Structure 1
Amino acid sequence: MTLLIDRALQGPKTHAFIIGVGNYPHAKAGFGVQENLRKVPNLPSAADSAKLICDWLLSNQDRLAAPLATLEVLISDPPNPNNRYPWDHSPVETATDVNVSTRGLEWFNRVVAEPDNVAFFYCCGHGASHLQQPVLFLEDLNQGPVNVWKHINLSSLAQALRKSQSVSAAFLFSDACGQFVPEFELGRPQDCRFFPDPSLFAASRNQVSLLCAAAEGQLAYEGADTSDSPLKFGRFTQAVLKGLSGSSARWSRKGWGVSCRDLLTDIKSLRRVFFSHWSENEPFEPYPAVTQADPIPIVFPLEFELPLVVMTDPPDRMPQYNFVISQENDPTRPWLKNREAGDPSAWSTTVPPGRDALYAIAVRGADHYPLLLQPMQPLFDQWVTVP
């Protein structure tokens, strides 16, 4: 099984392709071709991250800007059973070169078959950078001598979609490392090509976004979803889903929507607000390999709140003040949110989205100092001037 959903819909529709590579059986001691590829660890979190994305798509299938018509899934799941994300859709086919070539071509053909369709692509696993282009390694890495570096070139996929004149938008996400591997960089590896070679002379369009977890030479990391949880997913994946679920929404004529351009702007702040339990010693540096010219919406979320981060100006006054979020310039009840004095750190909270004003109010004794807010987008850098 690879198709988790296949719906006959009228009009523009989204076709999604999800790849999670957590198992690398030929890249272990005593197996495979090249000695330097026999120490590649399995990544249970990569398989589970792909499952998490699938569940988000299924839950939001009718909230996408173009409703979800098909969801194609390939997951190479390692045998490790401990502390894993529970999932009801196993088993699915594995992310081998043959399966990716076959299922990927079917996905690509569905995307370009009708005008105004939307492509959604996500992958997670071990990756690298080749000629400054992000790649994802597949399950059969190191399996055979003809092509030991089985991989997808994500930049080539993005360029092929940019050349399509029928696709209205493409949203691509890669939660993989961008590290430099000398043997891979200096070789002539053959990528898993399930899309037409991008024409040099066809016009390109700026309707494609490719967001990556780590730039060239950098690593991507996994992290627990909460401070006391045994479950681990890609940190980039978790921050992306937090934004897509509404934390990166902006108001537009069509309602509250999330675009890749805004998601990129917010993602490091989302990490700080919602995932402060992750280690600061592991860099979090997502980057755009390909960007869209316009803020094209991916999803119109429902039942969400927007992040708000408040500090006193000057910052060293923070522990001296109580804080409230209110619909009125009045520190007394009723208020929406509050925090007692004593904490020197910034106050990270959330507020309901809306076009009506709110007030962040610093309170000390009988004195209060308001800051007028309009929660039409995330507010990560709000300063309340106090004496």
Structure 2
Amino acid sequence: MTTLYDTGPAAEGQLHALVIGVDHYPYCGRTTRLEPPWRDFARAVSPLNCAVPSALAVVDWLRRHLSDRVHPVGSIELLLSAQQEQQVEGCDVERATMANVQTAFDRWYDRCDRNPDDVALLFFCGHGLRLGSEDVLLLEDFGADRHRVFDNAIDFRETYYGMRMAKAGIQCFLLDACRNTPEDLAGRAKACATALKHASPSLESRDAPIVYSALQGSRAPAPDGSPTRFTEAAIQALEGGSADHTVPGWPVTTDLLHFGINRLLGWGEKPDGRQFAAHGGQAFGGTIHALDVPMVPFRFGCDPHAALPHAYLHLANPERKFARPPAEIVWRGAAPADSYSLRAEFAAQGYAGEPATVMLLPPYKDSLLKVTPA
């Protein structure tokens, strides 16, 4: 089994994580044994090269926050499917087959069913699709059984409702997968995929946001060999991009999680277009974790831009000072959330400008310093 970390039961609330990354789909592609109408769809399920790096990035974030002051990490379950076997800290990582995922889910669920102060976190990155009202997540052995095509795929909707029975008071689900309906499967009402936990008849509400990397009916971008944009934005949001600056303690809250991720997805130059995250479930504003002071990414330039190659930029307050020498590109960096003075100095006498007060608050700050020809 691949339980990377487990502190055992604790009196205080903990965060328990289940992390799944699937790049390798050996029963799909051109050699699939599935019959029509599944064959064309399975042939289009190509290997990925971003799911394992994305899952490992999430695990790295979790390990850096083992001692969080609100919800210290209590356990990490990890399953990875790549062409080669994976190791983390010298441990062989189980592959993300249905049997392994079900067993790991059961361990994770049992931990999430101990304490109402706990946080349950599920992250999935891999292939997915939408059939009827179902979001279906494909595991490594999807397509292995030509008679029961979707047995090795997760019915997320049923699983999500099944989690209602767990005691964990906060449950967060981050799904980095496509949500389009393949043309070959259009008109099919449901997939009959596997629920990792059968839904409870209870309609009891809970603080359980879902953040999807794609809108319904859309594909999720899949970079080559690096974590996805969605994963990076989710980690940045958890690092402070979704922190609530209106209350003490900089809590990262469930109601701001989707907002922070979406804002961060839209920040910066994206040559292949804007990505939008979707949200579902219910978010009541519970605290996932808290920070001392979040780091806020920033991007500063000059107006007009022609002044920037001549500007020494300074960002300062009584406690901190940052500076950058002249350059043709905007100043990108990060600084602790706070109020600062932003000013420009010019070696030549071509431009002049007054300092500006900038407030660095999550999720990020963009600002142009107004200068005038001298």
Same fold? TM cut 0.5: yes
Contact 1:248 1:306 in 2 (8 A): no
> Quick one: distance in 2 between partners of 1:381 and 1:159?
40
> Quick one: distance in 2 between partners of 1:164 and 1:64?
26
Superposition pairs of residues 1-387 of structure 1, within 5 angstroms: 1-8=1-8, 9-34=10-35, 35-36=39-40, 37-63=42-68, 65-79=70-84, 87-149=88-150, 150-161=152-163, 163-164=164-165, 166-187=167-188, 188-199=190-201, 202-205=203-206, 207-223=207-223, 231-251=225-245, 253=247, 255-271=249-265, 276=269, 280-294=271-285, 296-301=286-291, 305-312=295-302, 322-327=312-317, 335-340=321-326, 343=328, 346-354=330-338, 357-363=339-345, 365=349, 367-386=352-371
Give the secondary-structure state (helix, strand or coil) at the position aligned to 1:255: coil
Unaligned runs of 5+ in 2: none
Contact 2:22 2:127 in 1 (8 A): yes
Unaligned runs of 5+ in 1: 225-230, 329-333
Aligned-pair distance for 1:255? 2.0
> Quick one: distance in 2 between partners of 1:198 and 1:184?
29
1:165/1:101 CA distance change after superposition, 3 Å:
closer
1:380/1:266 CA distance change after superposition, 3 Å:
farther
Give the secondary-structure state (helix, strand or coil) at the position aligned to 1:139: coil
> Quick one: distance in 2 between partners of 1:382 and 1:164?
47
> Quick one: distance in 1 between partners of 2:79 and 2:235?
19
1:159/1:314 CA distance change after superposition, 3 Å:
farther
Aligned-pair distance for 1:209? 1.3
Q: Percent identity?
A: 23
Q: TM-score, normalised by structure 2?
A: 0.83
Contact 1:117 1:167 in 2 (8 A): yes
> Quick one: distance in 1 between partners of 2:209 and 2:72?
18
1:369/1:131 CA distance change after superposition, 3 Å:
farther
Aligned to 1:331: none
> Quick one: distance in 1 between partners of 2:33 and 2:291?
45
Aligned-pair distance for 1:352? 2.2
Matched AA of 2:362: Q
Aligned-pair distance for 1:64? 6.6
Give the secondary-structure state (helix, strand or coil) at the position aligned to 1:44: coil
Contact 2:119 2:170 in 1 (8 A): yes
Aligned-pair distance for 1:46? 0.9
Contact 2:109 2:166 in 1 (8 A): no
Aligned-pair distance for 1:217? 2.4
Give the secondary-structure state (helix, strand or coil) at the position aligned to 2:360: coil
> Quick one: distance in 1 between partners of 2:133 and 2:304?
43
1:197/1:242 CA distance change after superposition, 3 Å:
same
> Quick one: distance in 2 between partners of 1:104 and 1:23?
20
1:259/1:132 CA distance change after superposition, 3 Å:
same
Most deviating of 311-320 and 2-11? 311-320
1:369/1:49 CA distance change after superposition, 3 Å:
same
> Quick one: distance in 2 between partners of 1:183 and 1:376?
46
Matched AA of 1:259: T
1:313/1:262 CA distance change after superposition, 3 Å:
farther
1:236/1:377 CA distance change after superposition, 3 Å:
closer
> Quick one: distance in 1 between partners of 2:157 and 2:65?
27
Give the secondary-structure state (helix, strand or coil) at the position aligned to 1:233: coil
Contact 1:134 1:154 in 2 (8 A): yes
